[in-house]
Structure formats: C-alpha cells, structure tokens
Amino acid sequence: MARRKSLRPLLSFLFWTVLFSVAYTQAPLYTSNQNTYFLHGFACAEIGYLRQDWLANTRDATPLFSALVCATLRWLQFEGLFYLYYALLLGVYFTILYKIAKQEADLQPRARKLAFLALFFLIHSAGWRFVLSRTLGEEWTYAFEGGLANQRLLGSVFQPSVFGVFLLVAVWLATQQKSGLAIVSLALAAWFHPTYIFAATLLFCGILATTLIDQPPKPQNNSTRQTPLQLIRTSIFFLILIAPSALYALAFIFSPEVAPDLAERGRRILFEFRIPHHADPTIWFNFASLFQIGLMPSALILTRQKAIRWLLGVPLMLSAALTLIVFFTRSPSLALLFPWRISTVLVPLSSTILIARLVATLPSEKDRPDSAVLIWVIPSIATSLIVVALLVGWVRITFDFQRQRNQPERPLIKFVAQHKQPQDLYLIPLKMQDFRLASGAPIFVDFKSTPYHPVEVLEWYHRYQIAADFYQSPSCDRIGRLTIEGITHIVLPASTPLSCPNLETIYTDDFYQLLGVRSLHD
C-alpha cells in the first residue's frame, strides 16, 4: 500500500504529461529552430559530414544543449528521445502551473478542477492556436501562453528555449520559501540557454524582494541582521551559479580580439536584418503584444499570493523600463539582451492565475449539492473540451508528419543523403532550412541558421549576400565566384534553366535540380 502511494504522484505526472503533450503537439524532427540548435550536436556525433560545415565550426551559443544532443545521438543512438525530453518538460510546465493555480483557488471541487483543466488545455492546444492564427492573425498564435516579440518557453519543437520551464519552477519554489532550490532552477535554465541569463536575473530580483518583504519573524535578538546576511548569502550563491553562463555569454559580446566597430556591425545585422521580429520593439509591438501586456498587470492585481505579486511585479517593472529604453534608443547591444524575454514566464503565469481566479467564482458542489450545472453540465463540457483538444492535437501531429514527408525538397534531400561525399559543399535556396540536418551534407549558408559572435555574423552575412545575389539572378558569370568559395553543388528550382560549361546535372525532379560545379582547373 505504501509503495502504491509513493508511485501515485509519478503515475499522475506521467498521465498528465502524455495528455498535455498530445494537446500541445510536437512537430517532427528536424524542423524550425532545431536546424540551428542541433547542428553542433550533430557535428559532434559525426552525423554525415557536418563536421566540415562552416556553421558547425563557429562558436556554439548553447554548448550544454549541444552536449545533450551529441550524447543522445552518439551513445544512446535513438533520436526519438528528443520527443521524450520535450514531453517531460511539457509535463513539468503543466505540473508547476497547476500547483500555482491550486494556490490561487480551491480546485478540490470537481466542477472547478475540470473547468480549470479544460481552459488550461484549451489555451495551450494546437487547435486553439490554429483558430487564433486564422481569425486574428499570426501574431496572435501564442497570445495566451507565449511572450512578447514572438518569444516563448514552449513551441513546436524541442530546443534550448524549452528549458525556460525551469524559470517557472523557480517561481513556484520561491513561493514555497525554497530560495536556494529556486536559484538552482534559475541557473539550470540559463545553463541550457544563455539568453535566459537576463530573465533569470530579473526573477532573482523578485526573489530578493520576496525574501526582504515576506521575511518570517525571527527571534528579537537576531531580527536586525538575519535578513541582510541572508540576502548577501543568497546573492553570492546566485552569482556563483550564474557566473559560468554569464562569462560564456559575455565572450559573444565583448571579445578583446574584435574591433568595436566590427562588433557593432555584427550586432546591427542581427538587430536590423536577421531577427528584428525578436529584437526591435518598433517591429514586434502590435495589438497581440498589447493584449499580453494587459494580462500581466491583471494577474498582478487579482492574485491572492503576496509572493507572486513581488515575483511577477518586480521583473515586470524592470523589464518594462528597459524595453522602453530600447524602444526609444534602438540600441542593438541592449536589444539583444531581450529584456522583454521575461514575458515568456510572466504571460503563461498570468494566464494561469486569471483562469484560476475565474473558476474560483464557481460555487462548490457541497454548497449546492442539487445543482445540475455543477454536477453534470460543467464537468461534461469541460471533459468534452479536453477530449477535443486531444483529438485535434493528434490530428495535427499526424498532419505535420505527413506534410514533412510530402515536402517538395524531400526526394532531393534523400538523394543527397545517399550520395554526398566528404569534400562536398552545397549551395541551397536560402529558405530551404531542413536540408542540412536531413541530408547530413555541409551547406554554404541559409537564412534560418546564424552564428551569434559578431565577427561570425559578419561572415554569415557575407555568405548570405553571395547566395542571395546568385539566386536573384542565376547566371554562368557568377559560377566562378561560387567555385572560389569552395561550392561543389548547386540546388536550383527545376523551373530555372541554367546551362554552363562548368555545370553538370546530377539530379532532377519536378521541383528541383542538383548541379555539380566543376573546378576552373578541370
């Protein structure tokens, strides 16, 4: 009996993890940002010839995540584990927010619990995201659970940003007055994704405020010095844990070997050209952002927990002030710190609080034992919503896998995967982002995947311009420049005719053709 009780929390966690994962959905490997963040891990695991890829030899922005990818592929040799990793993180996300919701409202009554679960599943479901994007626009897709600037903890794929769920874990631990474990959780998020360093620091400021203001009473002779000493110890502990990630990240910003003007040019390319939708408030601010901004103070006002007010309010005020500075100064250096990224924690936290406060208005079955609405109607509707979210999620997963198999470039990628050679270097259309990982062949450049060190960003932009110039106007005159860059193969749309003396057709289908480039000395 005791053993059965000890297993019950684990079984409950796994049960809700499976359900929430299906409702939320995952895209098939390897798509979207995985093409950027998996590359160093693929190269480490000796997948194809990716060790020869230029981007794989740039400085790795997320080394711990790359080590996880490498270990999974090299030693465990089962890529399906990436789905499991993400599912477990989704389970942590659901569990922590549910715990926070239970602190906001009594969810023991059946109608309240099911109503909360239904609404929580709804705003996180693939079906809801589809409805929002089609009715209100793409910018509304993650309005209830994503952050500002199209940044979010979760998303369609397993990537470093999903470890931001540990920021939420830190919030919950702080409400339990476990500041030491909360700091460990903050550091863990930053170790996997250094972009979270600033968000972790803002949350740490909230933890300090909570510790200072909600300090429990101490013996009279110790009360005047215990809090300052505690704050000092807590701050030192945080600095020790965050230092490795912070020092590593600073190497991308302040490199003594890089001239200041070059570093500024690199940051400006990221800010103005590659990721303005993440970095420039004048670009990403819209009505969906205004809605999300409204969610956060609303939760701040309605929450019952004093600790949450400080944990949510302090980071919100600090990030708002810094965001306004970026808005008016348009400083790339400050913008690339993403001071608004803390919203990826505050928005889902706020949505959870608001849902909990909403369902708390429902009376208990004990108060109204004869109410058919509480006993049958609300539970039936809630259960139906959860089932619909699961069915739509399963359909979406199936559709995504089928769509990947039917991508026009898949036959080409399969051919390259089977015939690539160590010395090959492929020039591909700049938006063909899945080519590199799916084929295991080095490419010259694409738009999706970029380095983050300023000098390497300049080299990426140089390569991008060469490729963009060629694809804008393919001609034999440009082949010589491509040969100098070491390119051995060119992928062109099948509808683009290009017949040159130093080109040979290696593969063609209804959508694409693969041309081999002969050296000028051949």
pLDDT, tens only, 288-338: 999 999 999 999 999 988 889 999 999 999 999 999 999 999 999 899 999
Instruction: Dump pLDDT digits (tens) for 26-42.
Output: 999 999 999 999 999 99
Distance CA 171, CA 157 (A): 24
Distance CA 155, CA 165 (A): 12
Residue 183 has pLDDT above 50, yes or no: yes
Return the exposure string of 251-276: e unless at least 16 CB atoms fall within 10 Å of the residue's CB, then b. Answer: ebeeeeebeeeebebbbbbbbeebbb
Q: Show the beta-strand stretches assigned E in 403-501.
A: 426-427, 489-493
Distance CA 344, CA 142 (A): 10
Give the pLDDT confidence score for residue 472 in this predicted structure.
94
Give the DSSP letter of residue 375.
I
Instruction: Dump pLDDT digits (tens) for 110-135.
Output: 999 999 999 999 999 999 999 999 99
Task: For residues 179-187, give the mean pLDDT.
Answer: 96
Q: List Cβ neighbours of 482 (8 Å cut-off, separation of 6 or more).
A: 427, 466, 470, 490, 517
Give the pLDDT confidence score for residue 423 in this predicted structure.
94
Task: For residues 188-209, give the mean pLDDT.
Answer: 95
Better-predicted residue by pLDDT, 368 or 93: 93
Instruction: Dump pLDDT digits (tens) for 85-104.
Output: 999 999 999 999 999 999 99
Distance CA 122, CA 480 (A): 55
Residue labelled with tokens 């990426």: 460
Region of residue 453 (left: phi > 0; alpha: psi -120 to 50; beta: else):
beta
Distance CA 330, CA 272 (A): 10
Q: What percent of the chain has pLDDT over 90?
A: 83
| Strand partners for 517 | 503
Task: Using alpha carbons, select from 445, 58, 450, 446 the residue that is nearest to residue 255.
Answer: 58
pTM comes to: 0.94
Give the pLDDT confidence score for residue 364 in this predicted structure.
85
Instruction: Dump pLDDT digits (tens) for 67-89.
Output: 999 999 999 999 999 999 999 99
Distance CA 514, CA 491 (A): 5
Lowest mean pLDDT, pick from 48-62, 223-237, 410-424: 223-237
Residue 5 has pLDDT above 70, yes or no: no
Instruction: Dump pLDDT digits (tens) for 445-455.
Output: 999 999 988 88
Distance CA 497, CA 494 (A): 7
Give the pLDDT confidence score for residue 129 in this predicted structure.
97
Q: List Cβ neighbours of 375 (8 Å cut-off, separation of 6 or more).
A: 111, 365
Task: Give the three-state DSSP class for 188.
Answer: helix
Asked whether the beta carbons of 45 and 74 are under 8 A apart, the reply is yes
104: number of Cβ within 10 Å: 22
User: Mean pLDDT score of the chain, rounded to an integer?
Assistant: 92
Residue 224 has pLDDT above 50, yes or no: no
Residue 277 has pLDDT above 70, yes or no: yes
Give the pair of three-digit tokens for residue 256: 């003594």
Burial of 131 (0-12, 13-18, 19+ CB in 10 A): middle
Task: For residues 340-351, give the mean pLDDT.
Answer: 97
Give the pair of three-digit tokens for residue 296: 């956060």
